[in-house]
Structures are given as structure tokens and as C-alpha cells.
A and B are shown apart, each in its own frame.
Chain A
């Protein structure tokens, strides 16, 4: 008897993509636009949500907060009266370094989908793993802060290519840094020429109007598609 070779040719992440499609169907049923929001740890995702989501014109926003552990970010957003659901990936100490479709699926029953138009899923801070896993989102957005170095698009092309918007944050720090903003923007263009870019500071408020406007437009994209 010989060993048998079975030809499969199947994307190994198919199982995740199937669950992502089920999430997508739930979001569609409630007309909720979903953003998968990613960055390295400490790039300012939560600060951008604090600065960006309060009283968005015509758009009710909510947040699904993914963290390895704790509810520190969720508490910050709740203080701004932004509806927020905490999703932890740990079981004790040390959990998954990213959200996948199944983790988001398990959280959906807790999300008040009928009360919101826009759901931001704040992924675990990490520039590698989250880029691999679709969660049923409409758009993938990443934050890159100017303290991280101009070479990040070249080191993490998978993440930079996955996103349709790159928010460059912490530009209020530029006077104190040896950072070449043009070089960063050039590197983003090399890796993902079609990505939109916003240059902002969540701290000083510079560029935040454009960030808010982008979110409103994104939510409108779905409304336009439905007409």
C-alpha cells in the first residue's frame, strides 16, 4: 500500500474568510459600516477615536475595542460617551496578538448594531498579524506615528498594502524629531500608491477635521451604494 497524495489547493485562511463573510452579512443587515483600525502599539489609535468620533455629523459611531488584556482604552472612550464594547484576546495572561473573524463574531451579540451607523474595530496594536485576518470590514485603516521612523512602510509592507487610508499621527512632535515626513509619505507611496493619506495630530487637533470628514464620507459610501 502506498501513501496517498490528496490535492487540495485551498487558501489556508479560508475558514477565517468564511466567518468574516458571516460578520459582513450581520453588519449589512443593520446598515453598519465597519472599519478595521490598526497600528503599532502606541501610535495613537485610541487618541484618534477620542478626538474623532464625538458628535460626528449624521453618523452614530461605536467602537469594538480589541486588546490583549484590560479595558484601559474602552474606559477612555466611554468617558467621551462613545458606545464601546471591550473584546479581550487573553485567557489569563498573554493572548492573541490580533483580532480574527471568529473573535469579532463572538463579540457581535454585545454590539448595539441597531443604534450605530459606523463601527470602528480597534485592533490589537501590532503591524504584522492583524493584516492577515479579514473580520468582515468595509475598510482597513492604519495609523503610523512620526515617532516610529520613516522606514516602516518598507519593513511592514503587508500592513501598509492592506489599508486604504494611512493616518500619520503625532505631527505636533515634528519640531523635536529628526524625522523626514516627505520620506515617510514617499515610502507609503512606494508600497501602496493607491492609499489615501492624512497628516494629523490627535493631541493638537491639526488635521482632525479631515479625519472626521473621511469617516463621515466612508459611512456615506454605504448609504450611496444602497440608493
Chain B
């Protein structure tokens, strides 16, 4: 259910970089460990984007698998369940190598032609 608040953060981040232009696609990188449900995020995104430069934009989500790294033994391994001890040495000095991401990677903006056309239609 945090997807609603996260959607607002995505729209705000995209809008900040859109320079007033219409956003057509938002490319998002989401780590598995962020406990985000992609369909739910998409649903809220569409809702939150209304009346912003992201209205009607597509949300492209790249899900990043979770991998951990053990600092003492320098090994890296993937995880599918939340087990954060090193399976090799049993140690707890483990860091998240990937899977913690929640970042707007890029946005696609409407071309000047499309923008003009849209403004024309709006004026009519």
C-alpha cells in the first residue's frame, strides 16, 4: 500500500526534470527488496499523474533482482528469500549489492510537434 506515496514521488521527480514538457514514458528501476507490487504501482501512478505533466504517461518498470555481498569473504550471491547472513561464512557483515533501487532512470518527453498539436487541440 506504500505504492500510492511512492507514485507521488515518481511523478514529482519526473516533473522536476521535464521542464514543463509533457512526459510520455517514465523509466523506473525498482529493486526486489523494496517490496513494490508493479501492478499496484502502475495503478496508482496513472491516478496520481492526472493533472500533471505525467498525465497519460506509461510507467516502465525494470525489476532489479536482489543480490548480497559479504564484506569479509567478498562473495556475492542472489537471494529469493529474506536471508541476510552470508551462506559461506555465516557472518552478518553483509551489504545489499543490488535490489535496493528505487530510482527514476530516465523520462521520455513529447516532441515539439506533438506538444504544438496538443496545444492546438486544447485551444479549439
B122 within 8 A of partner (CB): no
Asked whether A12 and B85 contact (CB < 8 A) given A1-B112, A194-B92, the answer is no
Question: B34 near A: Cβ within 8 Å?
Answer: yes
Determine the distance from Cα of A157 to Cα of B35 in the docked complex, in whole angstroms: 9
A100/B5 contact (C-beta < 8 A), A12-B13, A157-B33 known: yes
Q: How far is the CB of B32 from chain A (nearest CB, A)?
A: 10
Pairwise interchain contact B107-A8, C-beta atoms closer than 8 A: yes
Listed residue (B2, B10, B103) with the most chain A CB atoms within 10 angstroms of its CB: B2
User: How many interface contacts (CB-CB < 8 Å) are there between A and B?
Assistant: 106
Chain B nearest CB, measured from A61 CB (Å): 29
* Cα–Cα distance between A12 and B5 once the two chains are bound (Å): 11
Q: How many angstroms between the C-alpha atoms of A126 and B35 in the bound complex?
A: 14
Contact A132 B13 (CB under 8 A): no
Q: In the complex the two chains form, what is the Cα distance from A7 to B26 in whole Å?
A: 10
| CB-defined contacts of B106 to chain A, threshold 8 Å | 5-9
Contact B108 A8 (CB under 8 A): no
B84 touching A161, Cβ below 8 Å: yes
Shortest CB distance A196–B (Å) = 12
> Is A182's CB within 8 Å of the partner chain B?
no
Cβ of A13 and Cβ of B9 under 8 Å apart?
yes
User: Is A129 interfacial (CB 8 A cutoff)?
Assistant: yes
Interface status of B12 (Cβ within 8 A of chain A): yes
Chain B, interface size: which category?
35 or more
Q: Which of B13, B33, B34, B113 contacts A1 (CB 8 A)?
A: B113
A133: chain B residues at CB < 8 Å are 5
Interface size class of A (residues with CB under 8 A): 35 or more
Bound Cα distance A132, B35 (Å) = 10
Given A4-B108, A8-B107, A128-B2, A193 and B102 contact (CB-CB distance below 8 Å): no
Q: CA A10 – CA B85 in complex, angstroms? A: 29
Across-interface contacts of A14 in B (CB, < 8 A): 13
CB of B98 closer than 8 Å to a CB of A: no
Within 8 A of A (CB), among B51-72: none
Name 8 extra pairs, CB < 8 A, besides A4-B108, A9-B104, A158-B34.
A5-B107, A8-B106, A9-B106, A10-B13, A10-B17, A12-B9, A129-B5, A191-B82
Q: Which B residues contact A (CB, under 8 angstroms)?
A: 1-2, 5-6, 9-10, 12-14, 17-18, 24, 28, 33-35, 81-85, 92, 94, 102-114
Taking Cβ atoms with an 8 Å cutoff, the residues of A that contact B are 1-16, 96-98, 100, 126, 128-129, 132-133, 153-154, 156-158, 161, 189-194
Residue pairs across A and B with Cβ atoms less than 8 A apart, 9 shown, are A8-B17, A10-B13, A12-B6, A13-B9, A132-B6, A153-B82, A156-B35, A158-B34, A161-B33
